[in-house]
Amino acid sequence: AQSVTQPDIHITVSEGASLELRCNYSYGATPYLFWYVQSPGQGLQLLLKYFSGDTLVQGIKGFEAEFKRSQSSFNLRKPSVHWSDAAEYFCAVGASYSGGGADGLTFGKGTHLIIQP
């Protein structure tokens, strides 16, 4: 069965500093990988996704992620964080359910990002 691990439950970063959020996945087939962000009291917003091709993926709000098959990782990065980036970040893998033909997202447990002034 597929799984996603986000090793860091909380990360604190100073405003203006760089950020890297870690994500490791386990999935037997070609992974379809996603990062979502959830601001307090809000829904889930898609930051970026990887399906194939270039392993460095650009997303919204200045985020990027790099797919490394050899490490089963899909880490999220941002060169300079802003206070508005404080939120919960979820990595997810798209996987088959119900014997195939129906896919859904399997999420990691999230990383809570705190921005220090």
Q: List residues binding another protein (CB under 8 A).
A: 32, 34, 36, 38, 42-46, 49, 51-52, 88, 90, 92, 94, 96-98, 101-107, 109-110
Strands 24-26 and 3-5: antiparallel
CA dihedral 76, 79, 81, 87 (to 10 degrees): 0
By beta-carbon proximity to another protein, the closer residue of 99 and 117 is 99
- Tokens, residue 16: 């203006």
Minimum gap (Å) between residue 92 Cβ and another protein: 8
By beta-carbon proximity to another protein, the closer residue of 6 and 81 is 6
- Tokens, residue 58: 């650009």
